[in-house]
Amino acid sequence: MKNEILEAAKQNVERKGFLDIDLDPEMDLFAAIERLKKEKNAVVLAHYYQEPDIQDVADYIGDSLGLAQQAEKTQADMIVFAGVHFMAETAKILNPSKKVVIPDFKAGCSLSDSCPPPLFKKFKEQHPDHIVISYINCSAGIKALSDVICTSSNAKFIVESFPKDQKIIFAPDRNLGAYINKVTGRDMVLWNGACMVHEIFSLEKITKLKVRHPQAKLLAHPECEEPVLRIADYIGSTTGLLKYSQTDSAKEYIVATETGILHQMMKASPDKTFIPAPPNNNCACNDCPHMKLNTLEKLYLCMEYGSPEILMDEELRLAAKKPIDRMLEISKQAGL
Ligand code: 13P
Ligand code: SF4
């Protein structure tokens, strides 16, 4: 590709979020991505919410904790992060010398956006005797204001690693925070944020679905609202939900989280039926619009041309790294 055309395409990344370059429709993207992995010593990390093609080409598929752990230990020169911005940013925080690329720079997160650092700083100042535990779904700016990070799979352990009388602010997800308050008996102060995908499930429609499928078990992510969690048979991170569906004896499941996870559930248990929990409207709102901005084409392009790339201010990176390191250390001690 001519240098000027590539330069123009790279300039467009800022506006569009991805390299908008026409590809030969006949091109075998799977083979091209495998070739690039070897040529560039690249590793492709994908979250369970990515589209099936991306999951199939990934070297590692996981939940937020698993992805952070993989990012920490990888020997690759290039980390291709098929997920949303805060996840790729976490990989960069842990690996400043590696090139971290993301298929679409605009793959954000409504939950992360619900907690802007300047507002959170003021909130924190109103609770001077509290420590801050932040869910990994937040910006580097919020991480830098936190004492420790958690994910949905280690939140309970992280909270319980502090004495019972320790005052805690939990940000940014009020649903996960309320759930952890319930299971740990704590009274953490919650930032009022939420995920647009997990708040969309309709209790009424799930209840009706349960009547039609009396044997089906409800699997729910803790980002769901309390009424949905109350009737769930199992609550856990995406990895937790997947593992449960593999080891449990039921044959039918209603799945209250983003639909991407169904790909691995169906692959692991082809004899079982997985029904996406219905949203409270008629659209496919339990597809995360941010996660689904990434496509196989964009994945190929970001690997081939090394753009969009995650770059970070060093002072911010170091401040955000501390609470992530603390999370990884506590998780290791807990055997997670
Ligand atoms: P986990 O990856 O921890 O299951 O969280 C899901 C999620 O919402 C990621 O954005
Ligand atoms: Fe953010 Fe929700 Fe999408 Fe996860 S599913 S990336 S929390 S908006």
Domain parsing of the chain, residue ranges: 2-107+291-312, 111-195+317-333, 203-276
Domain 2-107+291-312 coded CATH 3.50.50.60: no
Identify the helix (H) or strand (E) that includes residue 172.
none
Per-residue model confidence (pLDDT) at position 281: 79
Q: Which ligand is nearest to the CA of 152?
A: 1
Q: List, run by run, the mean pLDDT of 10-residue segments along the chain (336 residues).
A: 74 87 94 98 98 98 95 96 98 96 97 98 98 98 98 97 97 98 98 96 94 97 97 98 98 98 98 94 83 98 96 98 96 90
CATH number attached to the domain at 111-195+317-333: 3.40.50.10800
How far apart are alpha carbons 47 and 81 in whole angstroms? Answer: 9
Determine the residue of 135, 223, 245, 262 to mutate for testing ligand 1's pocket, defined as the one with the most ligand atoms within 8 A of the Cβ atom: 223
Per-residue model confidence (pLDDT) at position 15: 86
Per-residue model confidence (pLDDT) at position 8: 76
CATH number attached to the domain at 203-276: 3.40.50.10800
DSSP 309: B
Which atom of ligand 1 has the smallest separation from the CA of 221? 4
Q: Do domains 111-195+317-333 and 203-276 have the same CATH topology?
A: yes
How far apart are alpha carbons 277 and 205 in whole angstroms? Answer: 8
User: How far, in whole angstroms, is CA 265 from its chain's centroid?
Assistant: 17
How far apart are alpha carbons 296 and 131 in whole angstroms? Answer: 41
Q: Side by side, which strands form the sheet with 217-220?
A: 234-235, 217-220, 252-256, 273-276
Of all protein residues, the one whose alpha carbon is nearest to atom 4 of ligand 2 is 109
Which atom of ligand 1 has the smallest separation from the CA of 258? 8
Which atom of ligand 1 has the smallest separation from the CA of 236? 4
* Type of residue at 293: L
Per-residue model confidence (pLDDT) at position 14: 83
Q: How many Å lie between the centroid of ligand 1 and the Cα of residue 152?
A: 7
Per-residue model confidence (pLDDT) at position 231: 97
71, 93 in Cβ contact below 8 A? no
Of all protein residues, the one whose alpha carbon is nearest to atom 7 of ligand 2 is 195
How far apart are alpha carbons 151 and 166 in whole angstroms? Answer: 20
Per-residue model confidence (pLDDT) at position 1: 66
Identify the helix (H) or strand (E) that includes residue 254.
strand 252-256
Helix, strand, coil abundance in the chain, percent, nearest 5: 45, 15, 40
